[in-house]
Amino acid sequence: MRLILLGPPGAGKGTQALRIVQRFGIPQLSTGDMLRAAVTAGTPTGLKAKSIMNSGGLVSDEIVIGIVADRIEEPDCKEGFILDGFPRTVAQAEALDGMLEKKGLNIQCVLELLVDQQALVGRIIRRAEDAQALGQPVRKDDDPEVFKTRLAAYNRDTAVVAPYYAEQGRLKQIDGMQPVDVVTTAIMAAVGE
Ligand code: AMP
């Protein structure tokens, strides 16, 4: 099964993606996680991405598309995958269609988590507090001001991605403001479980 999880930062994509991973045994491909790993490892990609990520902007399509193209060639993606945080622009969505088409594959389901953006800043502050309480590192881009830039980037560049899939009849929308378990149940129903 190949799925895409769309929604603004803080909508709960990462949490829900983990549950899909557990249920279907397919890997979660989070471009944010992959880029953070590249930054930590100090790779050339990481060096290019670091300041953009810290300021809340979008890393170039070229870099992100390259990362995903390499990742979906890995053996663990044979049975499918869930994309979290990608595609974030229509150019990325078109590139993904192109890569999959070459392999005779497609995306079966695109899920969009619908959330009240006013509530997201509060959620992100809690995420930073929870991480701190657990002694985990707090993401630099979970700072409330940087988060607002991320939200602006979402509204400017990424909000058009859901309509791209809706036009193709592939989009399913889920109320992401419900309790986490209820959202999971709705997702499972949407993917036909
Ligand atoms: P995330 O963990 O998905 O919130 O992503 C964290 C940051 O990584 C974003 O704010 C962007 O700077 C960068 N990023 C992640 N995925 C993408 C993408 N598909 N396109 C461009 N930038 C991305």
- C-alpha 175/C-alpha 102 separation (Å) is 34
CA 36 to centroid of ligand 1, rounded, Å:
9
Question: If you take atom 10 of ligand 1, which residue's CA is the nearest one?
Answer: 56
Mutate which of 58, 72, 89, 141 for ligand 1 pocket (most atoms within 8 A of beta carbon): 58
Alpha-carbon gap, residue 125 to 145, rounded angstroms = 11
Closest CA to 116 of 6, 5, 24, 8: 8
- Boundaries of every domain in the chain: 2-26+79-190
Which of the listed residues 39, 71, 88, 99 should we mutate to test ligand 1's pocket, taking the one with most ligand atoms within 8 A of CB?
88
Nearest to 86 by CA among 106, 58, 122, 105: 58
Predicted confidence (pLDDT) per residue in 104-117, tens digit: 999 999 999 999 98
> What is the number of the ligand 1 atom nearest to the C-alpha of 13?
3
The DSSP code sequence of the chain is -EEEEE--TTSSHHHHHHHHHHHH---EEEHHHHHHHHHHHT-HHHHHHHHHHHHT-PPPHHHHHHHHHHHTTSGGGTT-EEEES---SHHHHHHHHHHHHHTT----EEEEEE--HHHHHHHHHHHHHHHHHTTPPPPGGGSHHHHHHHHHHIIIIITTHHHHHHHTT-EEEEETTS-HHHHHHHHHHHTT-
Quote the CATH superfamily of domain 2-26+79-190: P-loop containing nucleotide triphosphate hydrolases (3.40.50.300)
- The residues, ordered by sequence, that sit 6+ positions from 186 with a Cβ below 8 Å of its Cβ are 174, 175, 178
5 C-beta closer than 6 A to ligand 1: no
Q: Is the CB of 88 under 6 A from ligand 1?
A: yes
pTM of the predicted model as reported, rounded to 2 decimal places? 0.92
Supply the pLDDT for residue 123. Answer: 85
Closest ligand 1 atom to 88 CA:
19
The rounded Å distance from CA 57 to ligand 1 centre is 8
pLDDT of amino acid 159: 95
Distance 188 CA to ligand 1 centre (A): 25
Which of the residues in the chain have pLDDT under 50?
A: none
Q: For position 144, what pLDDT does the model report?
A: 85
- Report the C-alpha dihedral over residues 116, 65, 136, 144, rounded to 10 degrees: -40
Give residues with Cβ within 8 angstroms of 136, minimum separation 6: none
pLDDT in tens, 60-102: 999 999 999 999 999 999 999 999 999 999 999 999 999 999 9
Residue 153: the pLDDT is 93
